[in-house]
Structure 1
Amino acid sequence: MDGIGAAALAGLCGDVRRGRGPVYRTLADAIRVLVGDGRLPAGTRLPAERSLAERLRVSRITVTHAYRELREDGWVDARQGSGTWVRLPDGPARVDGAWVPGPARGGVIDLAHAAPVAPPGMSELVRRAARRLDGELAGHGYGPDGHPDLRERIAARFTARGVPTDPDRIVVTGGALQAIGIAVAELTGAGDRVLVEHPTYPAVLDVLSDAGVRPVPVALGPGIEDALPRASRQTAARAAYLMADFQNPTGRLLDDDVRARLLHRLARQGTVAIVDETFAELDLREGATAPLPCAAHALREDDVVTVGGASKIAWGGLRLGWIRAAREPAARMRRRLARAQIAQPVLEQLIAVEVLDALDEIRGRRTAELRLRRDRLVGELAVVLPEWRPVVPDGGLVLWCDLGADLSTALTAVAPRHGLTLAPGPRFGTGYAFEDRLRLPFVHPEPVLTEAVRRLRRVLDDVVGTPVDAGRTGEPARLVV
């Protein structure tokens, strides 16, 4: 594993001299964050103490103390003659850089992950599926094509949303992330370029890295229907990963005209759109008509591959996802998936059937609940942290906050002392971007969100040393595309 230079590490850590605690501890906390979220992989060699001290403009003894604390806590190893190397500490904590929630810890509020609990009635759906299982036990249980009932339900949902779909165009996967991985593997090869919105969902960047492809970040904003095709033309990208419905983390929703122009222009460049619909059922607008799925705007059926899953509308523990593609690519992706895992669990697929049969009721309850929680979080931020400017989305699960300063990693490092888990803004992009942003999910009950914002205030005061004087109006931003 290669090392990281002093300038690069100093850039990732930010100004460690800011705050109330000892500087060496602030530095150690920042490095823990970088290891925990995967930006400093295990095996990375850290820069020499003197070099890092010069870049951070601190004393060498400060870096020495930070490295020693990290060694004592199991985050680094010192090797005689070869420097200091990152490692993962022993124990049950999930600090392996994967984008998944770790074990729940009493009293800690997780604002790093947008992972809602199961909806009311989920246990009854599981019992119904278990009763249906009796009819499956006489067979061998293998079904590399996916359970036919589940494929029919998924196809019917696409058809109801305006995209006529046959079950043979559906591939059942172990969650939406696996669906993205299968699609990337089918459409690209090592060294190919894939366009990604910037910011984007962190786990997708991990999937692209594991596949050996090169992400090409394209800044979000007005004119994305021009920016993505232009980047495709300049880079000869094979695929583009995008979320048209309540993009994670910004919450942006593309209308039908923008979808059509974007997909047509990508197709002219020979770039296939991998469209992630994970948040598509989480529309928090009341009485609004949802745009058509992106696949409805495709000129050719090969132009768009759609992925989705049950984890956000239902429950993260239900690891079922799907791909909608043209028949031949879908068949190839089923073969690819079968070689890796043969088939998905039968019981989970039957549970997903029950979820889709009850989708209207589940969605109604979920969105009503999320609407209240979003508004509570926005209201609390306006009162307690008026200097932050959240983008208020029309759907999804998260707010994307402008902090007004490069504080994201520092806040994430200090947050555990105040009973919070945060995700630093740079985790949602490449390079050093989004250090002035923080993603805040509104999946918790309203009293928990109220307490979370108060803890955020204490975290911010801890990082900056004194309470911040609001320099802006504090009015939350509305999303404009």
Structure 2
Amino acid sequence: MDGAASVLGPGQLARLLGPWRVVGDSSRQPARLALAERIRSLILDGRIAVGARLPAERPLSEALQVSRTTITAAYTLLVEQGYAAARRGSGTFTALPERLLARPTGGFRDSENPDLIDLSCAGPAAPTAELRAATAWAADRLHLESGNAFRPYGLPELREAVAERYTARGLPTEPGQILVTAGAQGAISLVARLLVRQGDRVLVEGPTYANVIDSFTAARARLYPVPLDEATGWLDGASGRIPMAQAASRLAPRVVYSIPHFHNPTGMLMPPEHAGQLARAARRAGAWLLADETITDIALDVPVPPPFAAGVSPADAERLLVCGSLGKSFWGGIRVGWLRAPSRVVHELAAARASLDLASPVIDQLIAVAVLREGMGVDEARRVEARAGRAVLEAALREWTPDWTWHTPPGGLSLWVQLAEGEESTSLVYRAGTHGLVLQSGPRFGADPGTYERFLRLPYSQTPEMLREGMRRLAAARTALGPVRASEARRDLVA
């Protein structure tokens, strides 16, 4: 980031800081150190974007009711340790030390070790009975498609089934608005390939889906994360506005990417009335809005949300793209997803995919037709399993890591867990690997490398037995790292 995405006002930073200095603290920590440590923590947790301009010293001293000398000293500490950069004539901007800038790789393993527990992917197990039925149905009809194996738009039957599904949920849709892709990730990659050029700005939520970061980074876009608020989600708690919409107006990005329903990894749910506001801001900024509805069906404590596009005006819908798939509601092994878009965009994307993968596998598409149209899906059964898995994982976390915190999400397939002060998820994930447990660290979900070190995404889509054993191994890995001391977190800021 270059700082254009975020300019912190003194009042805004004061609200983010919260009770940064505890009155009567027996440690007698100097105010400059306490302030610098709190700002550092906000940067690492992704609450303050990297590259954001910090408030001028005098206004901030008035907002915090401390001396200007304290603000100056705190900023100096941040600069010395690499968490800020002073630019003459421009101000002080947040940054990260060089050692934190390497982006962690995914938690993938090429291993057949039967004892390995893989919690790197938030995806359900194959629904064996339903999959067999859908596969048999597809096999009986495979001969009807044998004459044309390459359909870049997708099988007509599948495009119709997806369109019918949107229409049944209250959003009239024509098959010509649907492009079948290799999972939702295939749709995202196509959008990045067709619509993004080197240097284009792309707005994403902070944190966000890890593979989206990789897709847009591969397109050489400049990613601008807009932090989600722990309490109010997409809204600014003070102004009641959507910071992502404000950032779109200010930055004029090429693409705005959002996960409105049971956001990955936080599990947050965007209220339906916010869809129109975000789409309007994106259109006015000349941006494409890509809404990812991959997890929409995994509603656990609330009704399934209406389609994102249902709350968008016809004018704003001309810049709206919506992707979805069967990866979370059925099984990720069926590599079938789709993009709902204006017909002209569907044509352009279909042409663009010719050099990427030509078309999606016919047998997978026929299985998807069976799931969507023939009543062979497992939506409600999947929700029952997910609720049970969530309860098991939360109970195991309370038993093995009682000092970690999280918000129970109303849907989705994972928890976004905050570690104790001084812990780093990258080190913990590495050590967990030596205990036969595969995870993805918090920084994998941050567009700014090095952020979200105090977070872990923990899926609850595995069996109860695997979840309990996984948390036991995670606790063992944590113990192997040694005791966590608050002073360790301050080490970088102590002169």
- Determine if the TM-score, normalized by the shorter chain, exceeds 0.5: yes
1:113–1:338 distance in 2 versus 1, CA, 3 Å? same
Q: In 2, distance between residues paired with 1:145 and 1:426?
A: 35
- Say if 2:468 is the partner of 1:460: no
Who is 1:364 aligned against? 380
Q: In 1, distance between residues paired with 2:107 and 2:286?
A: 31
Q: In 1, distance between residues paired with 2:304 and 2:459?
A: 22
% same residue: 36
3-state DSSP class of the match of 1:341?
coil
- Say if 2:202 is the partner of 1:194: yes
- Say if 2:139 is the partner of 1:130: yes
Who is 1:262 aligned against? 278
Tell me which amino acid in the other structure corresponds to 1:159: T
- Say if 2:118 is the partner of 1:110: yes
- Say if 2:264 is the partner of 1:248: yes
Cα deviation for residue 467 of structure 1 reads 11
3-state DSSP class of the match of 2:356?
helix
Deviations 1:144-183 (A, max 9, x none): 2210000000111111122110000101111111100112
3-state DSSP class of the match of 1:168?
helix
User: Quick one: which of 227, 235, 242 aligns to 1:219?
Assistant: 227
Q: In 1, distance between residues paired with 2:203 and 2:455?
A: 22
User: Quick one: which of 405, 413, 421 aligns to 2:430?
Assistant: 413
Who is 2:400 aligned against? 384
Deviations 1:225-259 (A, max 9, x none): 52112211222211111100111000011111222
Who is 2:457 aligned against? 439
1:454–1:98 distance in 2 versus 1, CA, 3 Å? closer
3-state DSSP class of the match of 1:390?
coil
Who is 1:342 aligned against? 358
Deviations 1:416-462 (A, max 9, x none): 22221111111110222110001100011112211111111111111
TM-score normalised by L of structure 2: 0.71
Who is 1:279 aligned against? 295
Cα deviation for residue 289 of structure 1 reads 3.1
Cα deviation for residue 361 of structure 1 reads 4.8
Cα deviation for residue 265 of structure 1 reads 2.5
1:263–1:100 distance in 2 versus 1, CA, 3 Å? farther
User: Quick one: which of 237, 246, 255 aligns to 2:253?
Assistant: 237
Who is 1:20 aligned against? none
1:342–1:447 distance in 2 versus 1, CA, 3 Å? closer
1:229–1:467 distance in 2 versus 1, CA, 3 Å? closer
TM-score normalised by L of structure 1: 0.73
Gaps (5+ residues) in structure 2?
1-80, 82-103, 487-495
User: Quick one: which of 409, 422, 425 aligns to 2:439?
Assistant: 422
3-state DSSP class of the match of 1:216?
strand
Q: In 1, distance between residues paired with 2:252 and 2:107?
A: 29
- Say if 2:173 is the partner of 1:165: yes
1:416–1:465 distance in 2 versus 1, CA, 3 Å? same
Tell me which amino acid in the other structure corresponds to 2:185: L
Tell me which amino acid in the other structure corresponds to 2:472: R
Deviations 1:244-283 (A, max 9, x none): 0111000011111222222222222222210111101111
Deviations 1:50-102 (A, max 9, x none): xxxxx9xxxxxxxxxxxxxxxxxxxxxxxxxxxxxxxxxxxxxxxx9457564
Gaps (5+ residues) in structure 1?
1-54, 56-95, 469-481
Alignment of 1:14-163 (within 5 A): 97=105, 102-121=110-129, 122-137=131-146, 139-163=147-171
1:413–1:98 distance in 2 versus 1, CA, 3 Å? closer
Q: In 2, distance between residues paired with 1:388 and 1:358?
A: 44
3-state DSSP class of the match of 2:159?
helix
Cα deviation for residue 298 of structure 1 reads 2.1
**Contact preservation (8 Å) 2:134, 2:376:** no
Tell me which amino acid in the other structure corresponds to 2:170: G
Q: In 2, distance between residues paired with 1:168 and 1:339?
A: 21
Who is 1:295 aligned against? 309
Cα deviation for residue 107 of structure 1 reads 1.0
3-state DSSP class of the match of 2:291?
strand
Tell me which amino acid in the other structure corresponds to 1:293: P
Tell me which amino acid in the other structure corresponds to 1:447: E
Q: In 2, distance between residues paired with 1:201 and 1:289?
A: 23
Tell me which amino acid in the other structure corresponds to 1:436: R
Tell me which amino acid in the other structure corresponds to 1:390: W
3-state DSSP class of the match of 2:378?
helix
Q: In 2, distance between residues paired with 1:353 and 1:99?
A: 32
**Contact preservation (8 Å) 1:263, 1:297:** no
Cα deviation for residue 466 of structure 1 reads 7.7
Tell me which amino acid in the other structure corresponds to 1:289: P
Tell me which amino acid in the other structure corresponds to 1:461: T
3-state DSSP class of the match of 1:394?
coil
**Contact preservation (8 Å) 2:275, 2:312:** no
Cα deviation for residue 311 of structure 1 reads 1.5
1:149–1:208 distance in 2 versus 1, CA, 3 Å? same
Cα deviation for residue 296 of structure 1 reads 1.4
Q: In 1, distance between residues paired with 2:393 and 2:181?
A: 34
Q: In 1, distance between residues paired with 2:434 and 2:459?
A: 20
**Contact preservation (8 Å) 2:248, 2:281:** no
Q: In 1, distance between residues paired with 2:175 and 2:253?
A: 29
Deviations 1:17-39 (A, max 9, x none): xxxxxxxxxxxxxxxxxxxxxxx
1:212–1:250 distance in 2 versus 1, CA, 3 Å? same
Greater Cα shift, 418-427 or 96-105: 96-105
